[in-house]
Amino acid sequence: MSVALLEGLEVGSALPSLTVRFTRERLVRYAGASTDFNPIHFSDHFAAQMGLPGVIAHGMLTMGTALRVVTDWLGDQGTVRSYFVRFTRPIVVPDDDAGAEVTFSASVAAMAGPSVTFAIEAVFDDQKVLGAARAEVDLGA
Amino acid sequence: MAISEVHAGRSYPPTTPYQVSAAKIAEFATAIGDDSSSYRGAEPIAPPTFVAVISSPAWELMFDDPELELTLSRIVHGDQRFSYVRPLRTGDVVTGALTIDKVRSRGAVEIISASVEITTVGGEPVCTAQATFMHSRGEAA
């Protein structure tokens, strides 16, 4: 077990937060890497047809980026056992240099032996875009 | 007939075997902005949410099933859970087999719970990907 990582960690402990800009370039990259080519993630006219306020980020991109708060802390000292998110609000990504700024954070929700469960939050435009997000890591692996 | 409770338990054959490569892992890590050395080099492990790449073709089998009469543009990914046995690694050859666990109707929306069992072609379990999708019926006001 990675004793060093557990030292000083208690329920409520927060990990360093992460702020990321989702740009159209990032969406195109994620589309290619993930093979999710739904046009709501790159086409303005298609997004409009779908009644969306604009091109939106892949929920799985948000989910994958959010977990970095935990895995950046974990490094190679353990493994992720489970990860859950609810997709509660879309992240609209404009076609400009600024993109959409999303801030991710995580704090300890539960600890049991080598297992630590983090509650994760993702905030865009002052609103949470993920609900009930939890990642359980195992430091005994 | 359109999707309903009777489709709970319906399952699909495993997806075409997918060989996990170092290049694809690095591409995916870059797309989620993760520069960790764990995902680079000759024999990396994959970021946890890389399993979406294996899950997607399994989801598509269900979305494209004519029996269910689903319309892709009316499907929203509601939530996602990944339960890991171990990380995916370079050289793994894996498939995803989807089962519809539950279908609930709420007004004009069907709430579909589906699990994808990701295993190596040798039968070793790697991850279970449980998703909830919301499908809006077109004829509903």
CB contact under 8 A, B32 and A85: no
Residue B31 in contact with residue A29, Cβ under 8 Å? Answer: yes
CB contact under 8 A, A61 and B47: no
pLDDT-based confidence at B73, cuts 50/70/90? Answer: confident
Instruction: Name the token pair of B55.
Output: 């899950």
Q: From chain B, pick out residues whose CB is under 8 angstroms from the CB of A29.
A: 30-31
The pLDDT score that the predictor gives to residue B123 is 96
B33 in reach of chain A (CB within 8 A)? yes
pLDDT-based confidence at A7, cuts 50/70/90? Answer: confident
The pLDDT score that the predictor gives to residue B140 is 45
Range B111-119 average pLDDT:
98
The pLDDT score that the predictor gives to residue B89 is 97
The fraction of chain A above a pLDDT of 70, given in percent, is: 98
Residue A118 in contact with residue A108, Cβ under 8 Å? Answer: yes
Q: Between A29, A59, A87, which is nearest B30 by CB?
A: A29
Portion 55-84 of B in contact with A at CB < 8 A: 56, 72-73, 76-84
Portion 1-30 of A in contact with B at CB < 8 A: 20, 26, 29-30
Q: Which residue of chain B is at minimal alpha-carbon distance from A82?
A: B83
Nearest-CA neighbor of B11 among B100, B79, B76, B90?
Answer: B100
Range A50-63 average pLDDT:
95
Q: Between B48, B56, B83, which is nearest A36 by CB?
A: B56
The pLDDT score that the predictor gives to residue A32 is 97
Per-domain residue ranges for chain B?
Answer: 5-20+54-136
Sign of CA dihedral A104, A84, B109, B69: positive
CB contact under 8 A, B80 and A68: no
Q: From chain B, pick out residues whose CB is under 8 angstroms from the CB of A71.
A: 34, 36, 47-48
The pLDDT score that the predictor gives to residue A29 is 97
Instruction: Name the token pair of B78.
Output: 């509601």
The pLDDT score that the predictor gives to residue A6 is 86
pTM, entire model: 0.95
CB contact under 8 A, B47 and A67: yes
Burial label, A73 (beta-carbon count in 10 A; 0-12, 13-18, 19+) = middle
CB contact under 8 A, A60 and B33: no
Please report the domains of chain A, with CATH numbers, ordered by start residue: 3-22+57-138 (3.10.129.10)
The pLDDT score that the predictor gives to residue B70 is 94
The pLDDT score that the predictor gives to residue A8 is 86
Instruction: Name the token pair of B91.
Output: 């050289």
Residue A129 in contact with residue A62, Cβ under 8 Å? Answer: yes
A80 in reach of chain B (CB within 8 A)? yes
Instruction: Name the token pair of B123.
Output: 């039968």
Q: Between B31, B48, B78, which is nearest A83 by CB?
A: B48
Mean pLDDT of chain B: 95
Q: What is the third-level CATH fold of B5-20+54-136?
A: Thiol Ester Dehydrase; Chain A (3.10.129)
**pLDDT greater than 80 at residue B1:** no
Write down the ipTM of this complex: 0.95
